[in-house]
Amino acid sequence: MSTKQEQEEQEKIECALLDAVWITRWTDNKQALFAILEPEEAELSVKNIFSELNNIGYEIKMKPNNIENYSGKVIEFDDNIVKLECLIDKDNHIYEERVFNKSLFKNYDLQTDKYFLLQIFEIENGISIQIYSKPELESDFPQLNFVKEFSGSKIFKNKNK
């Protein structure tokens, strides 16, 4: 049975291993060599690897930062553009019409009332847009029932009266 001090020491080791970075390298005869690095050591190793790759001609691109996601519904399109109704703020039910080059939808069968997810990424010196067909986004665009909403309006008169 271990003492309380031994248990505490074991917990410290387990916590340290959670923060550590494990690196595996395979030898030519398929043996695995393991190294355990502290986060600071791992960061330095990764920077050195990137530096070496850059020096021999590889271009290192960082993962883009996803800054916005919008649900979009096609409201019209022609040979050059696609106009979407985009959900800008779901909590406050704010929608805006936005126009995009049709080339962004090149591989999609465009139809009115088709739904898309637009992911906006910040990249070095620019912005990137990824577009995905997402029929399940229909719930982001509630359908207005005109008869129910406006049946009591004075604008509409009942023909039977």
What domains sit in the chain, N to C, each tagged with a CATH number?
Answer: 4-55 (no CATH), 65-140 (2.40.50)
pLDDT band for 43, please (50, 70, 90 cuts): confident
In this predicted model, what pLDDT tens digit does every residue of 93-114 receive, in sequence order? 899 999 999 999 998 999 999 9
- The residues, any chain, with a CB within 8 Å of residue 110's CB and separated by 6 or more, are 74, 77, 82, 102
Is residue 86 within 8 A of residue 97, CB to CB? The reply is: yes
Residue 118: the pLDDT is 95
114 contact partners, CB below 8 Å, separation of at least 6: 73, 74, 108, 133, 135
149 or 32, higher pLDDT: 32
Q: Which of the four pLDDT bands, split at 50, 70 and 90, describes residue 21? A: low
- At 64 the pLDDT is 78
Does the pLDDT at position 128 exceed 80? yes
